[in-house]
Structure 1
Amino acid sequence: MQPGSGVQSVEAVFLLLLVFVAVFAGLARRLKIAYPILLVIAGLVLSLLPGMPLIGLDPNLVFLVFLPPLLYSAAWTLSWREFQRNFVSIAMLAVGLVFFTILGLALMAGSLLPGFDWRSAVLLGAVVAATDAIATTSIARRVGLPQRIVDLLEAESLVNDGTGLLALQFGLLMLMTGRTPSIIEGVGRLVFLTCGGVLIGLAIGAAVAWFERWVDDGPIEIVISILVPYATYLLGDRAHVSGVIAVIACSMYMSRKSSGNMSPQVRLQATAVWDALTFAVNGIVFVLIGLQLPYVMGQISGMSRVVLMEYGVGFSAVMIAVRMVWVYGETYIAYAVQRWAQKVEVEKPAPRRLFVIGWGGMRGVLSLAAAVSLPYALPDGSTFPQRSMIIYLAFCLIVATLVVQGLTLPWLIRRLGLSEPIGMKAEEQDARRVLLREALVHLDRKRSKNRDQSAMLGELIAGYQQRLDAVPADRERVEGLVDSTLRSTAILEVLHAERVALLRLWDEGHIDDDVLRTLQRDLDLEESRVHTGSAVVR
């Protein structure tokens, strides 16, 4: 190989993947399909083309390059209010379901998985039990799921990465040493991984938030925001706690602090950069999943394609059924205990909603990376015979949940009558009214103190009153070019008053994080127009 040819090969593969992402994501938009689904399908098809280079999946590439920024981006948009409200449900899915899946596979090892002993089955369960935050976040928001279900699935997929990695550690420990950890050891390890990750994430978040108070420069803050998830993940890993939990905790903390620490201009720039970054990395991840088909099939020998297909389909169906059983069983048991034993009036579970939650448990690249990272050999020098089958079954489950479940989710939501109407949420409408009234109060108070600006302020008041009268009928802007420094100053003061009211509504729990970000973006854009001399009274 000539000098530099290795670098050139990497560059060529990277550019080829970006071309795939751009082309097929554009096609997905035209077909009105969530782009991650089409990218996986495209990767599968491309992997079968003659002459297509074999692109292997390096676990280190996933865990150290792709995972930190994607987790950070996903956790940034997680609603803290909804996380608190759904904490019990999230814990039951993120912890209970993971271990229920592992226990189920261990009990069925002999019949469902010929050649697997219970230790190998536990390892398989640890690989596939946790849903994937990247897949869930990328697809759930694009298929019309009700926001309440999206919040639950996203939180579950983020938290259960920690429990899944813990289970994988114990599975490898049992495989390599033959020792089974005690329940006390398992619980203690889970608490250590989780609490340690949270502490490291919050500490880094607090340090970065303090630093950003003294910096108001878009490029600098954007670079810092990209470095933070990598630094947090690596520090968590070095401290032998959960790097995943550390990144999630840091992101959620930084997200809550961003409203006060970032200027509107920096916030707009950072949002644009992160949208492009997560789209590109997400796209590459999903194409890579599809391209793994030749590698996965090359690991299996001595079995016909028909038998392999039966194993893959059967295993995927069982895993989907296990999730359904847990979601329905746990929910109705909890309802019965609260209703009949504790005598608490609680809302009766909605079977349609539970079905969608069960159907939305998608696996992704993390499961495949975990499977590929399994050792080839056992301590006695013999090969680990189930490794190739674990990789194959994990790949089948990923394809089944991403493609089959992802494609059927929109149809399923419509059939079950769970589609949410397009338009402003009630919380957003109420918040807009509060902000506009706050702006009118501020302008009226300012006009009473500044009689010489009465005409200009009266025009602004008329514009805001017109906008208030239009909520929620429309969100049209009332045109009015900024033609003086006084007018620009008045608009900036009004925007500040609206921000104060918005943050008050958020702090008091009247609006969730999605509404905050939506209205905050509107205010940021308006302030940006003021600074560029093209502002309008909205």
Structure 2
Amino acid sequence: MIADFPFYLSLIVAIVLLVMLANKIKVAYPVLLVVAGLLISFIPGIPMIRIDPELIFIIFLPPLLYEAAWSISWKELWKWRRIIGSFAFVVVFLTAISVAFVANYFIPGFSLALGFLLGGIVSPPDAVSAGAILKFVKVPKRMSSILEGESLLNDASSLIIFRFAMVAVATGQFVWHEAALSFSWMLIGGVGIGLLIGWIFMKVHKYLPTDANMDTILTIVAPYLMYIAAEEVHSSGVLAVVSGGLLLSNHRHRIMSASSRLRGVNVWQSLSFVLNGLVFLLIGLDLPEITSGLEGVSLSAAIGYGLLITAVLIIVRILSAYGAVVVTLIARNYISVADTRSPGFKAPILMGWTGMRGVVSLAAALSIPTQIHEGGADFPQRNLILFITFIVILTTLLIQGLTLPFLIRSLNMPSFNDYLPDEDAEEYIKRQMAKHTVEHITSNYGDMLNESQFLKYVHDKWKDKTNDDVDVKISPEVKSVYLDILNQQRMWLIDQNHNNSQVDEDLIRKHLLQIDLEEERILLIC
């Protein structure tokens, strides 16, 4: 390991250069990283890379899920909860069933249990790939929100299917009532453990004398504790991290200081960048190990099976997207839905084509044991399952990943008018926040306006909505008042986010960041 350290260090440098190139040529960086990993693996003398599935599930997956939970808009997640839930659970299950029957019929030696196992492995789309591609093109906010929300939950549902299929393959039977109880515990236990640990961390952040460095360290430790605790009691570690992350994210402005939030964002952006880059580069680098275990079937036949399963995944997802539209149009007559308008034929095509697979699928395939029981028979079709998974990841990244931007531009998706236009929303926020600020100052600190030049400047600045700087001295008392004003603005923005459905949360977060920066500036100069 020490001898190969320069090689691993060079991989980090390669990731940075490749992402720069991807941004330059407007290609999603996961695609470029996988291809680069493939090319690097053919270089003579390159160390053999073996992806340890525990490395993915324990080291990589918790922080990446946690970062995604902090980034996603809870308002959007709740608004589109039905379609997100259907894609994250129902569509994943239908995909696994479809793969099971196709594999059982077309691939020699594949039982339904093995097909279901393969389906559980390849059914979840990868969030990072879609997110990296969507940043180069403009799509309606609802589409990106649904994709982000789905990606938070589909790993959990696919890994649950994977576990049940492993039991069926190993025992040769599937007891439905035991599976239902186990499934319920994985869901309830995972969410419950995540919320409990998240609540404990909330109290630690709020009541213990932590600083920005300590708060950042705690946010790094939290997802690992959530994941490991849930997995130890055989519930879903993925759901634990997601639920705990959403809880802490939703209360970040009440439990952490502005300095902690600002520094934490910088640390997490760098950490997630490195982790995401490594996992996609490792996919390509793992090709020699994957192909070396392929025996009993020709390479061309194995590639054909992989392309067949890829086609099934794409077709089922597109059909499921249209099915979701039909169900929504029927359900709107009986229940309240997020939007009663028909999305037309374009949205389901786009949703269906955003099904790139990623490292979670490969890690699940690699976690299949070589033997059914210790010292027992070899696990049937393990090497072929691993190779098919690799082909699925590679082809979906290349075919869908490279064509998705063109498809989005060709479809010319409507905006759906879910929110006010950015210019109108900006004007609304500035005007209303200025009004709220002036009212708060005059009603609570009116007697200090004539005593403090700085406080009078703040009052006039918001009253006139000007942004000119001023060089004045700030007393400790006035500084305390100004920090209270900033906090009132922060609380007003959070209230707007919760109660005003016409304002995009991304815009709210931008203004919250500006307030955090202003608070940090005042604390540093005063």
TM-score, length-scaled by structure 2: 0.91
Identity %: 33
Please name the residue that 1:194 is paired with. Answer: 187
Task: Give the CA deviation at 1:289.
Answer: 1.2
Q: CA 1:101/1:528 → structure 2, altered by over 3 Å: closer, same or farther?
A: same
Cα separation, 1, equivalents of 2:325 and 2:261: 40
Once the two structures are superposed, the pairs formed by residues 45-124 of structure 1 within 5 Å of their partners are: 45-124=39-118
Please name the residue that 2:494 is paired with. Answer: 503
Once the two structures are superposed, the pairs formed by residues 299-448 of structure 1 within 5 Å of their partners are: 299-336=293-330, 338-339=332-333, 346-379=340-373, 381-418=376-413, 424=422, 427=425, 429-445=427-443, 448=446
Please name the residue that 1:533 is paired with. Answer: 525
Matched-pair contact (CA < 8 Å) for 1:81–1:513: yes
Matched-pair contact (CA < 8 Å) for 2:136–2:405: no
Q: CA 1:451/1:315 → structure 2, altered by over 3 Å: closer, same or farther?
A: closer
Cα separation, 1, equivalents of 2:168 and 2:104: 18
Please name the residue that 1:478 is paired with. Answer: 468
Please name the residue that 2:289 is paired with. Answer: 295
Cα separation, 2, equivalents of 1:259 and 1:419: 34
Please name the residue that 2:512 is paired with. Answer: 520
Task: Give the CA deviation at 1:111.
Answer: 3.5
Matched-pair contact (CA < 8 Å) for 1:75–1:251: yes
Cα separation, 2, equivalents of 1:343 and 1:138: 33
Please name the residue that 1:227 is paired with. Answer: 221
What does the per-residue CA deviation read over 1:364-399, in whole Å, with 9 as the maximum and x for residues that have no partner? 101001101112223593323411111111111112
Q: Look up the equivalent residue of 1:496 and give its one-letter code.
A: N
Task: Give the CA deviation at 1:439.
Answer: 1.8
Cα separation, 1, equivalents of 2:163 and 2:183: 11
Please name the residue that 1:212 is paired with. Answer: 205
Q: CA 1:467/1:334 → structure 2, altered by over 3 Å: closer, same or farther?
A: same
Matched-pair contact (CA < 8 Å) for 1:56–1:292: yes
TM-score, length-scaled by structure 1: 0.89
Q: CA 1:23/1:449 → structure 2, altered by over 3 Å: closer, same or farther?
A: same
Task: Give the CA deviation at 1:219.
Answer: 1.1
Q: CA 1:167/1:441 → structure 2, altered by over 3 Å: closer, same or farther?
A: same
Cα separation, 1, equivalents of 2:234 and 2:336: 44
Matched-pair contact (CA < 8 Å) for 1:141–1:150: no
What RMSD over aligned residues (CA atoms) do the two structures have, in Å? 2.7
Aligned residues: 518
The secondary structure found in structure 2 opposite 1:363 is: coil
Q: Look up the equivalent residue of 2:447 and give its one-letter code.
A: K
Q: Look up the equivalent residue of 2:516 and give its one-letter code.
A: D
Task: Give the CA deviation at 1:446.
Answer: 6.2
Q: Look up the equivalent residue of 1:498 and give its one-letter code.
A: Q
Q: CA 1:416/1:242 → structure 2, altered by over 3 Å: closer, same or farther?
A: same
What does the per-residue CA deviation read over 1:49-92, in whole Å, with 9 as the maximum and x for residues that have no partner? 22222211110100111111111101112222222221211221
Matched-pair contact (CA < 8 Å) for 1:216–1:266: no
Task: Give the CA deviation at 1:317.
Answer: 1.9
| Bigger mean CA deviation after superposition, 160-169 or 263-272 | 160-169
The secondary structure found in structure 1 opposite 2:2 is: helix
Q: Look up the equivalent residue of 2:512 and give its one-letter code.
A: Q
What does the per-residue CA deviation read over 1:113-170, in whole Å, with 9 as the maximum and x for residues that have no partner? 2331212111110111122344444544554333211111121122122211111111
Matched-pair contact (CA < 8 Å) for 1:216–1:263: no
Q: CA 1:216/1:430 → structure 2, altered by over 3 Å: closer, same or farther?
A: farther
Q: CA 1:171/1:491 → structure 2, altered by over 3 Å: closer, same or farther?
A: same
The secondary structure found in structure 2 opposite 1:159 is: helix
Task: Give the CA deviation at 1:425.
Answer: 6.8
Q: Does 1:144 align with 2:135?
A: no
Q: Look up the equivalent residue of 1:502 and give its one-letter code.
A: L
